[in-house]
């Protein structure tokens, strides 16, 4: 048994004045509260990702329930899309499978509603691309999110310059809008994200698409320090997180670790009926249990 994963120390406020929240910024959310709780407990928040409808919606629902019982801190549920430009082969494959099963954005909302009805209180963020949301209607999507218990959205192909409409809808309905930053993000880009984001900032760990990696980038600490200099929001690191050692490394500099492809690849070795228990065991392994 390895030692529990330690979280980074609570940071001091940035030395430079961090951008003030834009007018209408939401009050502290369930997502922010989850990160605050994990920090107070001295551990790194674990944020598992599952694609809704892969291998089927019933299995997704059962797996989320099992992961919640195992101590997941924040869920990212992927909305299937035909052209997921930020995703590697694993999540592309799951999106294609879910689309073939008929899973759409409305089904993702319904899934979250069922999970809330079954007592899941863990924050849930829908991660998907902008086209399905535009087709659904941005205000309608934010309103439905509030109605069923979706806490926010991550939209990888929505740049800050084009986010006004969705941001306004999210704020009107008390939902978080989480933005992605990358090692290549300029300081101006980081500040623009800091002015608009709520819940947390998703820090892509590398230049590339999603997928499990053997090692994290050596430049990760310096990059995260640049992000930390402009915001007090929790930082969650994703893309390439696959082991307890990765979680430990991330936790020294950030608040949370997103595990996606590694979890999905692991679950693919099990039958749908066995996947919930396998997911719970994998999450406990990431904690070093």
Q: Is 8 contained in some domain?
A: no
Cβ–Cβ under 8 Å, residues 78 and 128: yes
State how many domains the chain has: 1
What the block records as the tokens of 91 is: 């999540």
Q: Is 13 contained in some domain?
A: no
Q: Is 53 left (phi over 0), alpha (psi -120 to 50) or beta?
A: left
Candidates 61, 87, 144, 151; catalytic one:
87
What is the per-residue pLDDT for 150? 98
**264 CB-contact burial (10 Å; exposed 0-12 / middle 13-18 / buried 19+):** buried
What percent of the chain clears pLDDT 90, i.e. is strictly above it?
A: 79
**C-alpha–C-alpha distance, residues 235 and 78, integer Å:** 19
C-alpha closest to that of 112 among 92, 131, 98, 127:
127
3-state secondary structure of 48: strand
Candidates 56, 61, 73, 76; catalytic one:
76
pLDDT band at 89 (very low <50, low <70, confident <90, very high): confident
Q: What is the CATH number of the domain that holds 159?
A: 3.20.20.70
Q: Is 210 contained in some domain?
A: yes
What is the per-residue pLDDT for 214? 45
Q: Is 14 contained in some domain?
A: no
Helices vs strands, H then E, count in the chain: 12, 9
Q: Is 74 contained in some domain?
A: yes
What is the per-residue pLDDT for 239? 85
- Residue 164: active-site member: no
3-state secondary structure of 140: helix
pLDDT band at 217 (very low <50, low <70, confident <90, very high): low
Give the structural domain span for 163.
Answer: 30-286
**Whether pLDDT at 1 is above 60:** no
Region 262-271: mean pLDDT is: 97
Q: Is 92 contained in some domain?
A: yes
What is the per-residue pLDDT for 83? 84
- The pTM for the full model equals 0.87
**Whether pLDDT at 23 is above 70:** no
- Residue 76: active-site member: yes
CB neighbours of residue 37 within 10 Å? 12
**160 CB-contact burial (10 Å; exposed 0-12 / middle 13-18 / buried 19+):** middle
Half-sphere exposure of 4 (CA within 13 A, CB side): 10
**Whether pLDDT at 58 is above 50:** yes
Region 118-146: mean pLDDT is: 97
**C-alpha–C-alpha distance, residues 132 and 274, integer Å:** 31
What is the per-residue pLDDT for 216? 64
3-state secondary structure of 98: helix
**Whether pLDDT at 4 is above 60:** no
Q: Is 263 contained in some domain?
A: yes
Q: What's the distance, Cα to Cα, between the start and end of the chain in Å?
A: 6
**C-alpha–C-alpha distance, residues 188 and 230, integer Å:** 10
pLDDT band at 14 (very low <50, low <70, confident <90, very high): very low
Region 231-260: mean pLDDT is: 94
CB neighbours of residue 201 within 10 Å? 25
What is the per-residue pLDDT for 28? 56
**C-alpha–C-alpha distance, residues 86 and 157, integer Å:** 8
In the block, residue with structure tokens 């999210």: 170
Q: Is 71 contained in some domain?
A: yes
């Amino acid at each position: 048994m390895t030692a529990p994963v330690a979280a980074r120390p609570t940071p001091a406020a940035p030395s430079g004045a961090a951008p003030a929240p834009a007018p209408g910024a939401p009050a502290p959310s369930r997502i922010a509260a989850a990160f605050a709780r994990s920090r107070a407990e001295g551990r790194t928040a674990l944020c598992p990702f599952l694609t809704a409808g892969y291998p089927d919606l019933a299995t997704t629902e059962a797996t989320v329930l099992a992961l919640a019982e195992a101590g997941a801190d924040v869920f990212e549920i992927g909305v299937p899309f035909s052209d997921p430009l930020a995703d590697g082969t694993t999540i592309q494959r799951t999106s294609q499978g879910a689309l073939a099963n008929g899973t759409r954005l409305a089904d993702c909302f319904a899934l979250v509603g069922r999970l809330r009805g079954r007592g899941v209180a863990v924050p849930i963020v829908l991660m998907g691309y902008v086209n399905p949301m535009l087709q659904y209607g941005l205000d309608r999507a934010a309103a439905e999110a509030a109605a069923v218990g979706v806490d926010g959205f991550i939209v990888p192909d929505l740049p800050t310059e084009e986010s006004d409409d969705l941001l306004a809808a999210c704020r009107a309905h008390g939902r978080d809008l989480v933005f992605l930053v990358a090692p290549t993000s300029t300081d101006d880009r980081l500040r623009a994200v800091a002015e608009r984001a709520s819940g947390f900032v998703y820090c892509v760990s590398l230049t590339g698409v999603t997928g499990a990696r053997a090692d994290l980038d050596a430049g990760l600490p310096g990059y995260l320090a640049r992000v930390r200099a402009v915001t007090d929001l929790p930082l969650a690191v994703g893309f390439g997180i696959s082991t307890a050692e990765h979680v430990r490394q991330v936790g020294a500099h950030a608040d949370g670790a997103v595990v996606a492809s590694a979890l999905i690849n692991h679950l693919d070795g099990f039958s749908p009926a066995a996947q919930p228990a396998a997911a719970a065991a994998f999450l406990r392994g990431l904690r070093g249990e």
